[in-house]
Amino acid sequence: MIPSVLPTYNRAPLNFVKGEGSWMIEADGRRFLDLGAGIAVNVLGHANPILVEALTEQAGKLWHVSNLYQIPQQQALADKLVENSFADTVFFTNSGTEACELAVKMARKYWYDKGQPEKIEIIGCEGAFHGRSSAGIAAAGGEKLTKGFAPLLPGFKHVPWLDWDALKEAISDKTAAVIVEPVQGEGGIRPMPDADMRALREICDEAGILLILDEVQCGVGRTGKLFAYEWAGITPDIMMVAKGIGGGFPLGAVLASEEAASGMTAGTHGSTYGGNPLGCAVGNAVMDVVATPEFLDDVSRKSGLLRQKLEGLVAAHPEVFEEVRGVGLMLGLKCKAVNIDVVNAGYDAQVAIVPAADNVVRLLPPLTISEDEISEAVSRLDKAAEQVAAAKD
């Protein structure tokens, strides 16, 4: 019999009933160190008093009004994002998938309004993830996402990760934009080297097409910069954000330059909940903490510490792990053992990590994780690795 919850997830038998900072507490009282953070969502940890205050204060005033009216919290958050990024304008969504939908629509509308309606094609990279909507799965293109869901939204092409010759070959008179993640998340924590990011920007400029960055997972401080594109010193034309921006409240956004957004006039797009007062109250509080040099420097410092300890872990368990990769607090351990076995052994050691493609386990802790918690996390991962190694023998 089908479960009452549609069984599209392989769920671990864990019932978390409370969160405190970097910790999740199971119904039976066990405390788990959270190195998943709801998949890069809880950037300020669980039940952060600043976010609890922002949400409950707003909840006592006004939960929801339509985008037919001014929403001051939304205006404030848009101003903050514009001030702290390449963007001139922002549209708020409830999720990363919805941000992908708008990014695709915006790129196509741009060319339509320029009198080049034939430019509809968007080129993505193999191994990508852009969400589960029809546009999202078509943009990513992988068989795991698309199989059985034909007909797919037309107008998408894919090239191998970092294969710029293949990209140049794929660009035609019909190309509207390229879409990439600066750090592939679901694809196995694959950062795009800065030189490649600059090469990509150059190719888009030469071809006169738009560059869409998907920073849904790697944005909002995760890499040690507010947005990952900053590392390469380039700017995109359109950018998708979600996950961390709401700190656990469903919130996403599309950021764009004035030029790229020029087709999106009144009536061309909308959302009932997007940018609602509750979500934006939390988003403002997240930005006030994360978008400061001190906070971002701290992420980089802790990244160095975690990375160094993970290198030690890999060296101690060469039969379980192959290498550490990633940037900031978006790190991956490429496994020799089966990654799911490592995740499950992590549960036994009361540390939560997240599997990704390419036999990788992801570490995406709250950006507020402490040095002591980093040490504790790695010692728990060490225990998990011992268990995996013992089971292998």
Ligand X SMILES: *Cc1c(COP(=O)(O)O)cnc(C)c1O
Interacting residues with ligand X (CB under 6 A):
95-97, 100, 129-131, 181, 185-186, 214, 216-217, 242-243
Calculate the dihedral angle through the C-alpha atoms of 283, 285, 288, 289, rounding to the nearest 10 degrees: -110
Residue 243 beta carbon to ligand X: minimum distance, rounded to whole angstroms: 6
Residue 145 beta carbon to ligand X: minimum distance, rounded to whole angstroms: 11
Tokens of 19: 């969160």
Residue 37 beta carbon to ligand X: minimum distance, rounded to whole angstroms: 12
Q: Which is nearer to ligand X, 213 or 337 (CB)?
A: 213
Residue 186 beta carbon to ligand X: minimum distance, rounded to whole angstroms: 6
> b/e per residue, 203-224, with b = 16+ CB within 10 A?
bbeeeebbbbbbbbbbbbbbbb
Q: Which is nearer to ligand X, 136 or 336 (CB)?
A: 136
CB-based closest residue to ligand X: 96
Give the full edge-to-edge strand order of the sheet including 351-352: 16-20, 23-26, 31-34, 351-352
Q: Which is nearer to ligand X, 103 or 378 (CB)?
A: 103
SS3 content of the chain, % helix, strand, coil (to 5): 40, 20, 40
Residue 289 beta carbon to ligand X: minimum distance, rounded to whole angstroms: 21
Distance separating alpha carbons of residues 125 and 28, to the nearest angstrom:
43
Q: Which is nearer to ligand X, 131 or 355 (CB)?
A: 131
Residue 132 beta carbon to ligand X: minimum distance, rounded to whole angstroms: 7
Q: Which is nearer to ligand X, 219 or 346 (CB)?
A: 219
Residue 253 beta carbon to ligand X: minimum distance, rounded to whole angstroms: 11
Q: Which is nearer to ligand X, 97 or 223 (CB)?
A: 97
Q: Which residue matches tokens 């009536």? A: 267
- Collapsed DSSP state (helix, strand, coil) of residue 115: coil
Distance separating alpha carbons of residues 227 and 214, to the nearest angstrom:
10
Distance separating alpha carbons of residues 48 and 389, to the nearest angstrom:
37
Q: Which is nearer to ligand X, 279 or 314 (CB)?
A: 279
Instruction: Give me the helices (H) in 60-129, please.
Output: 72-83, 96-113
Give the full edge-to-edge strand order of the sheet including 354-356: 321-327, 330-335, 360-363, 354-356
Q: Which is nearer to ligand X, 45 or 185 (CB)?
A: 185
> b/e per residue, 49-72, with b = 16+ CB within 10 A?
eebeebbeebeeeeeeeebeeebe
Residue 239 beta carbon to ligand X: minimum distance, rounded to whole angstroms: 11
